[in-house]
Chains A and B, each alone.
Chain A
Amino acid sequence: MQAFEYASPTSKEAAVKLLASEWGETEVLAGGTDLLSLMKDQGSAPKRVVSLAAVKELKAIEYNPSTGLRLGALVTLRELLDSAEVRKPYPALIEAAEGVRSPQLHSMGTVGGDLLQRPRCWYYRGGYGLLAQMDGKSLVPDGENQYHAILGNSGPAYFVNPSSFAPILIALGAKVRLFGPGGARDVSLDKFYGTPTSADQREYDLKPNEILTDILVPAAGGAKMAVYEVRQKEALDWPLAAAAVVLNLDGKTVKSARVVLGHVAPTPWPSPEAEAALAGKTVSESVAEEAGKAALAKATPLSKNAYKVQLARVAVKRAVLAAAEGGA
């Protein structure tokens, strides 16, 4: 690990002044559960690390039944899990945090860090760059792609977005507030992520000298919601596929639905097809199953990950059923 400068500003204004305008020069440190391992594995070698730990306003959890929830980016998973203000109106946010099966990650990991963590693709982490290339060619299509993307994978990116919270936050219509030298801007989370076309790009619409300060979640308004993750292990393990569902019901009929898949594509993957399959229907096992099929109708699995198509279908089905039966 090369020597670097460490800064711990106490305001967001001071923080962004310490950030460079090019990626790679500086890195922002929140819980450090991703950045430190990237730096140790030489996946990142910044000249300056800017810690946000002393920026107090980033730790806020504010809930107002009419306007919704503001989560500071530095709120830890543990603080989220312990928050009665989140648990009641947004049970699926709690489910998403519970899917991270590690007390250590609960203690150190932050909500903002979850949204901005880099892909877990083992070629990327093994030193072949974000696009997993050797001699200009991706190693993924003919390689060990069992955990890679089944949607949005026409290349050159094949990794999956690893966020636990992004699918449910998108389904809830959340925005992120970004703060840079020119002030704050709000971006709808479903517009925030993108698929990089070169290895030096990031997977999201954040400038190198901006920080993510807040996550703004609209009032749930009695919507029902659930997250379902298919994980191989009960212990800490990345989901093989995940789905987040928010249902607005009229009696038992779905007025509108949001369905967003995780761990299936380089970005969180909203599924208008699944949403259309649910609209106007009464939720049942077969309706939920149809939604799962619709969500995956355009899947293009790679050589070793066709099974993920089935897992993602099941994740959608079970999330729909759990949402319809369940909370908020």
Chain B
Amino acid sequence: MPKCKYDWPEAGERHLIGTRIDRIDGPAKSSGQAKYTYDINRPGMLFGKIVACPYAHAKIKSIDTAEAEKLPGVKVHLVQNVGTEIQWAGDEVVYVAAPTEELASDAVAKVKVEYDVLPHLVHDEDLSKVGDRGKPAAEQKSGDTVAAFKDPDAVISEGFYGTPIVTHCCLEAHGQVTEWADAQNLKVWASTQNLSGLPGAIAEAIGVPATNIEIFTPYMGGGFGSKFGPDRWGIECSKFSKEVGKPIKMMLERDLELMMAGSRPSHYAKVRVAAKKDGTITAWESDSWSTGGPAGGGKPPIPYVFNIPNQVTRHTSVSTNTGPARAWRAPNHPQSAVLTMCALDDLAAKLNMDPIEFFHKNADLASERTEVYRQELRKAAELADWQKLWHPRGDKTPGHIKRGLGVSMHTWGGRGHNSNCNVTVNPDGSVEVALGSQDLGTGTRTIIALTAAETFGLPIEAITVKIGDSKYPASGASGGSTTVGGVSASTRRGTIDARDQLFAAVAPGLGAQPDQLEAVGGKIQVKGDSSKSLTWKQACAKLGVKPVQVTGKNPGLCELGSSGVGGVEIADVSIDTETGLVKINKMVCVQDCGLVLDLKTAESQCYGALIMGITYSLFEEKIMDATTGRMVNPNMEFYKLAGIGDIGELVVHMMTGPGYDERGVIGLGEPPVISPGAAISNAVANAIGVRIPTIPITPDKVLAALEKGGMA
């Protein structure tokens, strides 16, 4: 089959793709030269702060800003009016702005808001206590679960599993600096995952055309799904800036960041699952519930990964006053992995089967990726030393340290988003790729440079990448693992077209046709004849005074990426049965994502995901107080995140080569963060012989479970 015009180079022809490339903005970030939104200060700028509602559910009775406005230089802006019903503690009522942060804080304290306090609900783990806040959805079923569960050959396992609300806890909080260049033109430095989409999202609310709004996000300190929209603070601060005629910087304080800038919905379920005695899974029945705040919580995609032939699922959405939900890295998948993979692990234990063997046995149920999962299960087992270290439930070794292994599987899409780029090759040999994307910290900038350098046969340093400005050609939001596929495809198409124009310009001088040329090793040469060549610089000089300027697009002609990945993770843990403390010995991540462009940033995504996964498995929880309705741990002291001593040994293996590379580029941000919860929970069950039903797996839960029926 002839190669499509736009394609990735074959394995033997790649000079950068698939190698380990350092991120090109590493020195700027580590030296502090990289400026994040938090670092932006504009002349005459005011600092904005939020007067937040202290109640989880209340109606605003009165707002008095007079005392605050008496402070020198203090301005106020109402964002919610008297009569409005507030649905979570931390919701914004009034913004204040002042020449210093300290003064702004003092002004916040002087704003008086009176409320009528209304009843609230902030807990949902016990569905029997949510009253009329629970809204059951219609039952969904396929096959015949009644018959499958009644089958005399069926082995049935029943359990309760769950995950509470966790937050995003981005290192860089939400917020922005807003500045009006004149009455019609707005500049916003925003910490956003959606640079190109933001002007359109703000325009209508502030009454200027989207073309008059320019967004800057040169660097960003993480979003994890919580930073797609302008948010109320983006829109209201734009208005506020205009009112006061000054730039305003408003970044959320850590407490409000954790209270209201995003929650991953809880998910709980009572699950029944059945298999034949040979291990073939036959039936699933679940009653699940979840909350993502006042809007409730949607049904998780369970059973997860495995398409169980007979299944019935019922779900109840619970409305709570816990703050609004936002997409959290692989929305609903980590929770679904816990609900499914823990239930299946318990079933495997009941069948006296090794869970890896059990997953192999049922891999046919894992849709079109059966063979991928089989390969990944084998690789993960090898890297975890499963054969040697796994044992049936309950470590029988004497002493109070019990070791166990657990496994989980996951899936994700990751097709590249829409992306446009401008590629410029100048007569002096300089190369620029510009696109309206953002680098959340994942390595997007590096991937764009690598793709261009690969096409042009240049070192990566030869490429100037311009991102982080909405005036560049529009590129999609960075969410759902869509960025790498999108920006690499637009860049690849654009750079191939630019390269071909350059070939056309230099071919006559080399006595060859353009399609006989190649760009390798910093040269343009006749394929297979390096005696007929020009250096890159010489070649570009042939352009005269006119640079090559082309646009690259995704989607476009020829597929450069696809969708759908697997992934297997294994946790190796030790539990101190006297203290209930869980120690991670090792985490193994085996992940596919099609063609890996930069192996180093790909592995880094997996390392980061494992750390994030360990954190939500062992430590993280938005802890809400029933009486006050407030989060009691809106800080990084008690909203616990793993440190370097808590993560054990992390082993990452990317599946590459034949069978993977030809799928093209697929996103990777989400998938490796899905399985840690289930893998760690399963490892703990394997170690101590008893299931801890919910994550995070804290000492109180471990000790309680051991007391109830483990091997203390």
Contacts and interface: CB of A to CB of B under 8 A. Distances in A.
Contacts of B643: 101, 233-236
A146 B700 contact: yes
B625 A139 contact: yes
A120 interface: yes
Contacts of B640: 232-233, 237
Interface in B621-647: 623-628, 630, 632-633, 635, 637-638, 640-646
A311 B641 CA distance: 21
B109 interface: yes
Contacts of A23: none
A63 interface: no
B268 to A, nearest CB: 19
A252 B399 CA distance: 24
B633 A235 contact: no
B70 to A, nearest CB: 15
A139 B627 contact: yes
A1 interface: yes
Nearest to B618: A232
Given A2-B106, A122-B638, A232 B626 contact: no
Given A122-B632, A304-B700, A232 B581 contact: yes
A143 interface: yes
B626 A307 contact: no
B257 to A, nearest CB: 15
A33 to B, nearest CB: 12
Contacts of B109: 42
B105 interface: yes
Interface in B481-540: none
B180 interface: no
Contact of B642 (A134, A233, A306): A233
Give the secondary structure class of B's interface. loop
A181 interface: no
B709 to A, nearest CB: 16
Nearest to B696: A232
Nearest to B637: A120
A230 interface: yes
Contacts of A2: 106
A146 B632 CA distance: 11
B580 interface: yes
Nearest to A147: B638
B578 interface: yes
B627 A310 contact: no
* Size category of the binding interface on chain B: 20 to 34
Contacts of B618: 232
A144 B464 CA distance: 53
B632 A144 contact: yes
Given A1-B102, A120-B637, A126-B630, A234 B625 contact: no
Contacts of B646: 233-235
A314 interface: yes
A142 B123 CA distance: 14
Interface residues of A, number: 34
Contacts of A304: 700
A241 B578 CA distance: 13
Contact of B627 (A142, A236, A238, A240): A142
A47 to B, nearest CB: 15
A123 interface: yes
Interface string B672-712: 00000000000000000000000000111001100000000
Contacts of B633: 122
B579 interface: yes
Interface string A112-151: 0000000010110110100000100001001110110000
Contacts of B703: 307, 310
A134 B642 CA distance: 33
Contact of B699 (A125, A126, A236, A307): A307
A23 to B, nearest CB: 21
Contacts of A101: 643, 645
Nearest to A307: B700
A123 B632 contact: yes
B578 A314 contact: yes
Contacts of A306: 700
A235 B106 contact: no
A235 B627 contact: no
Contacts of B698: 232
B623 A144 contact: yes
B619 A233 contact: yes
Nearest to A41: B255
Contact of A143 (B579, B625, B642, B700): B625
Contacts of B624: 144
Contacts of B626: 142-143
Contacts of A123: 625, 632
Nearest to A1: B102
Interface string A80-94: 000000000000000
Nearest to A313: B578
A134 B700 contact: no
A139 B618 CA distance: 26
Contacts of A126: 630, 632
B579 A230 contact: yes
Contacts of B578: 310, 314
Contact of B628 (A134, A146, A147): A134
A314 B106 contact: no
B619 A232 contact: yes
B461 to A, nearest CB: 35
A238 B645 CA distance: 15
A134 B627 contact: yes
Contacts of A139: 625, 627-628
Contacts of A233: 619, 640, 642-643, 645-646
Nearest to B581: A232
A10 to B, nearest CB: 28
A120 to B, nearest CB: 7
A263 to B, nearest CB: 13
B579 A235 contact: no
Contacts of B641: 235
Nearest to A40: B105
Contact of B581 (A1, A40, A230, A236): A230
Contacts of B581: 230, 232
Contacts of B580: 307, 310-311
Contacts of B102: 1
B619 A1 contact: no
A144 B642 CA distance: 22
A3 to B, nearest CB: 8
A311 B699 contact: yes
Nearest to B701: A307
Contacts of B619: 232-233
B642 A235 contact: yes
B348 to A, nearest CB: 29
A304 B125 CA distance: 15
Nearest to A318: B578
A143 B627 CA distance: 7
Contact of A1 (B105, B627, B638): B105
Nearest to B699: A307
Interface string A303-323: 011110011001000000000
B166 to A, nearest CB: 16
Given A143-B626, A143-B632, A233-B645, 5 more contacts: A1-B106, A139-B627, A139-B628, A310-B579, A310-B703
Interface of A: 1-2, 40, 42, 101, 120, 122-123, 125-126, 128, 134, 139, 142-144, 146-147, 230, 232-238, 240, 304-307, 310-311, 314
27 contacts: A1-B105, A2-B106, A101-B643, A120-B637, A123-B625, A139-B625, A142-B626, A146-B700, A147-B638, A232-B581, A232-B618, A232-B699, A233-B640, A233-B642, A234-B643, A235-B641, A235-B642, A235-B643, A235-B645, A236-B643, A238-B637, A304-B700, A306-B700, A307-B580, A310-B703, A311-B699, A314-B579
**Interface pairs A-B: 9 shortest CB-CB:** A235-B643, A234-B645, A307-B700, A122-B632, A314-B578, A307-B703, A144-B632, A234-B646, A143-B625
